[in-house]
Chains A and B, each alone.
Chain A
Amino acid sequence: MIGLGHFLVLGALLFCIGLYGALTKRNAVAVLMSIELMLNAVNINLVAFSRYLTPDYIAGQVFAVFTIIVAAAEVAVGLAIVIAIYRDRLSVELDDFDWLKW
């Protein structure tokens, strides 16, 4: 029987994979994708909690929809920034984006 614990473990795994990718990937697009993974891990948690703890209310699931929308907007903005930087630097490597240092 698949229970709440399984979903939570899945979410945690997905989050860790996303975090690992966000912290280690060189490519800015890949980092954005990793962030998507983390957001989706949260979505899984939201939906799972909603389904198992408050089956009569769908607040958690609606909340997940909001997160998806915000994530979409974030990706749009993020990609736009990446493209803008690419035009300037001809690169999407995060190691090249170190202008903010001392």
Chain B
Amino acid sequence: MIEFAMQKAWLIPFLPFLSFVLIGLITKRSEKLSAFISIACILTSFVLAILVAVGIFGAGEEFIEKSFEYSARWFSMPGLEISMGVKLDPVSSMMLFVVTLVASLVQIYSLGYMHGDPGFSRFFAYLSLFAASMLGLVIATNLLQMFVFWELVGLCSYLLIGYYYFKVSAREAAKKAFMTTRIGDFGMLLGILFLQIVFGTLNFTELAEIVPKYADYGITLGTLNLIAILLFIGPVGKSGQFPLHVWLPDAMEGPTPVSALIHAATMVVAGVYLVGRTLFLYKTATTAAEVVAYVGGFTAFFAATIALTQIEMKRILAYSTVSQLGYMIMALGVGSLTASMFQLFTHAFFKALMFLGAGSVLHAMHGKVNVWDFGGLRKKMPYTAWTFVIGGLAIAGIWPFAGFYSKDEILLEAFNTGHTGLFWLAVITAAMTAFYMWRMIFLTFFGEEKAENHPHESPFSMLLPLFVLAFLSVVGGWVALPEHGWGYYIRLGEHEAGHAPAWMIATATTAAVGGIALAAAMYWKKIISYEAVGKAAGPLYTLSFNKYFIDEFYLWINHTIVDGLGRLLYWVDIYVVDGIVNGLGFFTKEAGAVLRHTQTGRLQNYALILFAAVVVLVLYMYFKSPAAAMIVLGGGN
């Protein structure tokens, strides 16, 4: 079985894709059948992914240094050989597990959440395609294959964010997501082309071997840094790093299960995964790695400060995702694949849990989104509330929940590699994370119930994924315990294990507990007046609440520079391009009007002109070359 799963790992993305095709072409009319096919396919993929994971991790060291890889030639031309294949190693099999797990749970959850929606089948088709694209990306053997699926993921996010296409805001958000990530993709494509031109291959395994010997390929370290940074622009767009993070909070316009999928498993972690896959590049190009680390660290901090003051549940979660992705990117920047993938692993659980929990709340509240409108929901929705609390504990990093281990791992790596500034930034961010998460939890689930709300607990199909994810949010971090050897399996290259010193654990825990305590004091027990704090913060509060006016800034750029350029080019088009074309037409017309007077219609005029022309020609030839003229005239000797 395990052997079969590893040999046929391409089935993992293929099955959801098959379900997409089946639903789209055949079973669209039948909602139940569509949902059944979709869930059956993703669950089969999930089982296969587990088998693959067992095969890879069970084999001990075998696949750590050398991945299990096979591929078929896709196309080739002189100097370019592109294949499609499957690359299984600890990182990709871990991702396969996470993606299929979250996708399965989201689909089961959608059974309840999307019940009665007119586009039910379409929704499942998109979800399947989304999962298929992400899974294809995960097993990619080369950058081009990855890029193809990367774009498919982008397409699916566009379709799903704009799922409620009749809502203007959803359409706008979909476009925004698509175009913002496209900016990143452009940089990434340039990076890929550079790599192909310089190294002549896009295969990860081959690149990992030859990139450290970049000097043999006639480029300097500076060029390599440039390539690495170009490649990194893709993840900046996809994983919502500053300054291309703006699409991610708007992506919540899609149905909530989609947000869970995008934020936890499919879309945004693709960027992290890409950087993880090409980490050999950043190990060599250290300047680029520093850029990656600081972009990640700054994004983590920056997004957390925005999340502090947001009032919409999903928006808070969205900024928290941006912040957590910043952590992962930062971990990669300081060179630790282990910490980053570990954070990705645990984050997928608790973020999916919280998004699905938020969906459950929004489902019960019939479209209210403002956390200030909620309150005391734990009484009517106990399961949602307590699973959400577990998610909150996990993301805050409280022992023994999953986030505790993964966050410590990142802090430790940042500190060990000498990035003390980033370390403290991450600690402050952790405190803020705990604060804003628990602010939301206290406002939503604690405090007094509001009479105008009539919440109800969600159906079982929605609660089941919450239970599973809550369970994993608790135990997910335990794989890192020394006896499980996570750091051992997930590492690439040198060993990255090591224990965080006690003072570091104490600092991180203090930060988290402090954040939660402050949130409790302000929003639950109301010991500290949040209004007074807000006033005291003054302009900082305004900045945070308005997301640093970045959207407005981009809009301003759009209106002034892009539209201004558009107006200029419009003028050029009207007066220069059209002027040339119209001028040609006008000239022809006028020339015709003048020349037509020579067409008298009188035969004898024509004859006269003909004869005169002959005379003129002969005279001309005579003066130019008398001999030639004499030949023409027939008398030459």
Q: Which residues of A contact B (CB under 8 A)?
A: 19, 22-24, 31, 94-95, 97-102
Contact = CB atoms under 8 A, between A and B. Distances in A.
Contact of B604 (A24, A99, A101, A102): A24
A23 B599 contact: no
A22 B604 contact: yes
B601 A100 contact: yes
A27 to B, nearest CB: 12
A97 to B, nearest CB: 6
Contacts of B608: 23
A22 B607 contact: yes
Of A19, A24, A100, chain B has the most CB atoms within 10 Å of the CB of A100
Interface string B592-607: 0000110111111001
B593 to A, nearest CB: 9
A102 B596 contact: yes
B611 interface: yes
Interface in B584-628: 596-597, 599-604, 607-608, 611
Contacts of A101: 599-602
A100 B599 contact: yes
A98 B603 CA distance: 8
B602 A98 contact: yes
Nearest to A35: B607
A19 B608 CA distance: 9
Nearest to A94: B603
Contacts of A100: 599, 601
Given A94-B602, A99-B601, 12 more contacts: A23-B608, A23-B611, A24-B604, A31-B603, A31-B604, A94-B604, A97-B603, A100-B601, A101-B599, A101-B601, A102-B597, A102-B599
Closest 4 CB pairs of A and B: A101-B601, A98-B601, A102-B596, A100-B601
Contacts of B611: 19, 23
A29 to B, nearest CB: 13
19 contacts: A19-B611, A22-B604, A23-B604, A23-B611, A24-B604, A31-B603, A31-B604, A94-B602, A94-B604, A97-B602, A97-B603, A98-B602, A99-B601, A100-B599, A101-B599, A101-B601, A101-B602, A102-B596, A102-B597
A13 to B, nearest CB: 16
A99 B611 CA distance: 22
A19 B67 CA distance: 98
Of B599, B603, B608, chain A has the most CB atoms within 10 Å of the CB of B603
Contacts, number: 31
Contacts of A22: 604, 607
Nearest to A22: B607
A31 B608 CA distance: 13
B596 A95 contact: no
Contacts of A98: 600-602
Contacts of B604: 22-24, 31, 94
Contacts of B597: 102
A23 B601 CA distance: 14
A79 B487 CA distance: 110
Contacts of B600: 98, 101
A98 B602 CA distance: 5
Contacts of B599: 100-102
A99 B601 CA distance: 6
A20 B616 CA distance: 18
Contacts of B596: 102
A102 B597 CA distance: 7
A26 to B, nearest CB: 9
A24 B604 CA distance: 7
Nearest to A45: B634
B607 A95 contact: no
B632 to A, nearest CB: 15
B604 to A, nearest CB: 5
A49 to B, nearest CB: 9
Interface in B292-323: none
B603 to A, nearest CB: 6
Nearest to A28: B603
A23 B607 contact: yes
A102 B594 CA distance: 11
Contacts of A102: 596-597, 599, 601
Contacts of B603: 31, 94, 97
A55 B608 CA distance: 36
Contacts of A24: 604
A44 to B, nearest CB: 14
A4 B310 CA distance: 115
Contacts of A31: 603-604
A94 B599 CA distance: 15
A24 B596 CA distance: 23
B597 to A, nearest CB: 8
A79 B597 CA distance: 29
A3 to B, nearest CB: 15
Nearest to A49: B634
Contacts of B607: 22-23
B476 to A, nearest CB: 90
A31 B265 CA distance: 97
Nearest to B595: A102
B631 to A, nearest CB: 15
A97 B605 CA distance: 12
A15 to B, nearest CB: 11
A67 B600 CA distance: 31
A95 B602 CA distance: 7
Contacts of A99: 601
A53 B596 CA distance: 48
Interface in B461-503: none
Nearest to B600: A101
Nearest to A8: B635
A95 B597 CA distance: 16
Nearest to A97: B603
Contacts of A95: 602
Contacts of A97: 601-603
A98 B608 CA distance: 15
Contacts of B601: 97-102
B497 to A, nearest CB: 95
Nearest to B608: A23
A99 B599 CA distance: 10
Contacts of A19: 611
A95 B603 CA distance: 8
Of B596, B599, B601, chain A has the most CB atoms within 10 Å of the CB of B601
Nearest to B596: A102
A99 B600 CA distance: 9
A95 B605 CA distance: 11
A100 B596 CA distance: 11
A31 B599 CA distance: 20
